[in-house]
Amino acid sequence: MTISPSQIPAGAQSGRRRLVVTIILISIGIHAAAAIVAGIVVVARYFAEAPAEFKTTKDVRIPAKKREAKMNMASLDAIAPKPTFSDKMQSSRPTAFSLPDIPNLPLDQMLPLDPSQLISDQMASLSNVEAMGSGSGAASAGAGGFGDKGMSFLGIQSSGQRILLLFDVSSSVTHKAAKAGVPLEKIQQETINLIRKLPITSKFGIIQFTQNYKPFSKELLPATDNNRTAALNWVQTEWVTKGSMSESSKVISNSQGLIGVLDLATEMKPDVIFIISDGSFQWKAGGGSGTIPWTVVKKRITENLCKSGDCKVNFIAFEAKSDDTKEMRGISQRSGGKMIELK
């Protein structure tokens, strides 16, 4: 059954209109509120402060300007004292005497001047060794050992913790040492005294040589009680005193003489070395025997043995030739060691 609008009561139609109007107004209000909120959000974003950002910048430093000190040289010259000159004193008549002429001295005997040479006599007397620069006389060696200033051996005071003793026991050295009053037996006793006084913190080695050589050990050994006892026994039983060294199981054959000994010494890395010799070292080179040139010896010492510059080479020479003495003294001076000659 269909109801026409005319059949609906007037009151019902009026209520429906009010309901529709109310719904429309509510919808308009909701949309208006939403528009207002959206506008507020947009405005707030526009006026809001941007979030803090941290950026690194290149550190630019301007170097401080160097101060310059300027001096007025003209003013300095003006206030500087001037040298004064006085008239020379002259004699108006000849005198009854005249001064002797200055002798001509070779420069190689004057320079370089080794301070140890100036006090060699005083040092020799303190160590009971009479060191003779020229002329003849007997030399006596004092006891070797350690003191407040290091070790003393055959009159040379030195210091070090890695000690190597090299003894030339060729026939020429044996003869010259005996003539100087310091035979190899006495050097043997000095070596024993030194070994007995070695501190436990040190290392030591001993080599005797002619052309062949005989080492106590092929490396430096710590100065323990056992090693010192073994060394004392070796010095007392194996010490060569007759100027020759025959080949044996304990003797190393060596045609290079001192050069071969220095090669072994380089492997030991000592920081203080004592070389007892007459400065004339022999080898077999090119199929024949001869004297080792000092250029070869110096090169072996400076470029191999003392390459690091921390080893002192000391020479104790017996009646060395003047040229050999000069070479040994030069090597000792450059390495920080000393050289004495016993006659």
Taken in order of first residue, the domains within the chain and their CATH numbers are: 114-342 (3.40.50.410)
Strands 339-342, 272-277: pairing kind: unpaired
- ∠ at Cα 306 (311, 118), nearest 5°? 55
Q: What is the pLDDT of residue 161?
A: 94
Q: Report how far Cα 234 is from the mean position of its chain's Cα atoms.
A: 33
CA 157, CA 63: separation in Å to the nearest integer?
A: 54
Q: What is the pLDDT of residue 127?
A: 39
pTM of the model: 0.58
- ∠ at Cα 217 (235, 212), nearest 5°? 80
CA 319, CA 310: separation in Å to the nearest integer?
A: 29
Q: What is the pLDDT of residue 255?
A: 85
Q: What is the pLDDT of residue 116?
A: 42
Instruction: Give pLDDT tens digits for 222-262.
Output: 999 999 999 999 999 988 887 777 666 688 888 888 999 99
Q: What is the pLDDT of residue 129?
A: 37
What does the block give as tokens for 193? 């005294």
CA 184, CA 268: separation in Å to the nearest integer?
A: 25
Q: What is the pLDDT of residue 247?
A: 65
What does the block give as tokens for 201? 């913190």
Query: For the chain, which ranges sit under pLDDT 70?
Result: 1-13, 46-149, 246-249, 285-288
